Amino acid sequence: MSIRLEFIWDVPPIDGAEKMLNQVAQECMAAEGITLPVYVQARITGDEEIREINREYRNVDRATDVLSFPSTNCRPEKTLGACEKKLLQERDETGCCFLGDMIISLPRAREQAQEYGHSLQRELAYLTAHSLFHLMGYDHMQEKDKERMRSMEEIALGRAGISRVTDDELIEMAKEAMQFSYSPYSHYKVGAALLAKNGQVFKGCNIENASYGATNCAERTALFKAVSEGVREFTAIAIAAEKSVPWPCGICRQALNEFAPELRVIVAWGENSREESTLQQLLPHGFGPATGMLDILGKE
Ligand code: THU
Q: Which of 181, 182, 183, 190 to mutate to test the pocket of ligand 1 (most atoms within 8 A of CB)?
A: 190
CA 164–ligand 1 middle distance (angstroms): 28
Nearest residue by C-alpha to atom 3 in ligand 1: 217
Per residue in 30-61, pLDDT tens? 999 999 999 999 999 999 999 999 999 999 99
The set of catalytic residues is: 219
CA 207–ligand 1 middle distance (angstroms): 9
Per residue in 199-227, pLDDT tens? 788 999 999 999 999 999 999 999 999 99
Q: Which atom of ligand 1 is nearest to the CA of 216?
A: 10
Q: Is 241 in the pocket of ligand 1 (CB under 6 A)?
A: no
Q: Is 177 in the pocket of ligand 1 (CB under 6 A)?
A: no
Q: Which DSSP category does 292 fall into?
A: T
CA 272–ligand 1 middle distance (angstroms): 20
Confidence tier at 125 by pLDDT (50, 70, 90): very high
CA 116–ligand 1 middle distance (angstroms): 35
- The answer to whether residue 1 scores a pLDDT higher than 60 is no
Report phi then psi at 192, rounded to 5.
-135, 150
Nearest residue by C-alpha to atom 4 in ligand 1: 217
Determine if the pTM surpasses 0.85.
no
DSSP 128-196: HHHHHHHHTT---SSHHHHHHHHHHHHHHHHHTT--S--HHHHHHHHHHHHTT-B-TTT---EEEEEEE
